[in-house]
A and B are shown apart, each in its own frame.
Chain A
Amino acid sequence: MHGPGTGRMAGRRVESTADEPGLVRYASSEPSAFAGMLGGLIEANVLANPGKRKDFDALAARVGIWVTDIEEGVTLVFDAGRLTVYDGLEPRRTITIRAEADTVMSLSNLKIGLFGLPVYYDEVGRGVALKLMKGKLRIDGMLTNVPTLNRVTRVFSVQ
């Protein structure tokens, strides 16, 4: 497994975290731009924020994200302090999120409020909730995995 190549949009590479090698790994030697972006984003969040690091270390789940308007996706395999990013949807996913690119970006902008719960009453949160109600955001496995989904949201959110 390798980090995303130089010049990929993520701009962050596994090699950049020399003090913690292998925090985020890529299943493909040439990960997609989307895989590089999500891996880079989560890595940066976790390294910068001890609260997110705690969630990351406790998270064991297989999370699929499919971007409907570019027809690309990834599977994030969290394994208690390690993340492997796969291009495409892998089997046995705990949660699968399907949405357009803009909505995926909104998910990463959800604020985290009291008790570590995502905030759905501000502008970004209301937008996400509305898309969920209209079926423009689908989260398979949501109802049976609410604590996991909240933890993934916290790790994923840049707020």
Chain B
Amino acid sequence: MAVKFASDDWAMQFKDEVNKSNVYKSAAKGWKWTVGLVVEAEPDKNFPESRGVVMDLFDGEARDITVGPAADAQRCDFVITAPYSRWKQVATRELDATKGMLQGKLKLKGDLPTIVRYTKASQEMTECTARVPVEWPDEG
């Protein structure tokens, strides 16, 4: 069943998808940092306030994924920031996250060698996002 984007239900399903993924489990072995996703507001897309997704990821497991204020996400070890419509493009596989980062469409803050070392894990994380059926606020 589809869930509202960036809602608590969405976070729960996203976490379940991550923890179901053997690819992620193996690729993220050794990862021990928090990741914050900042979804910037786009009022004209019916996404009026910026939101933050805080991901507590440890050694191939998503211990917790929560949605809250953008400021919470900005305090994480790694922070990826983009407007709502960019995240929608990522979650619908219209934009590859790696390409998006190289093009500056998704802005990353954090230690680069670490994130590059875990490229496969981050790609699988994107796949997990795409597997969550979503109700988008600018549709229907």
Contacts and interface: CB of A to CB of B under 8 A. Distances in A.
A70 B101 CA distance: 11
B98 A105 contact: yes
A45 B113 contact: yes
Nearest to A105: B119
Interface stretch (A4-12, A90-98, A138-146): A4-12
A10 to B, nearest CB: 6
B137 interface: no
B110 to A, nearest CB: 5
A102 interface: yes
Given A8-B107, A70-B103, A37 B98 contact: no
Given A101-B96, A105-B119, A109-B119, A9 B113 contact: no
Nearest to B113: A158
B32 interface: no
B110 A158 contact: no
Interface string B96-113: 101101111111111111
A44 interface: yes
B19 to A, nearest CB: 23
A34 B98 contact: no
Contact of A37 (B96, B111, B112, B117): B112
Interface string A90-116: 000000000001101110110000000
B70 to A, nearest CB: 14
8 smallest A-B Cβ distances: which pairs?
A: A33-B104, A158-B113, A11-B109, A9-B108, A41-B112, A105-B119, A101-B99, A158-B116
A51 to B, nearest CB: 14
Nearest to B120: A109
For B81, B106, B108, the residue with the greatest tally of chain A CB atoms inside 10 Å of its CB is B108
Contacts of A41: 112-113, 116
A32 interface: yes
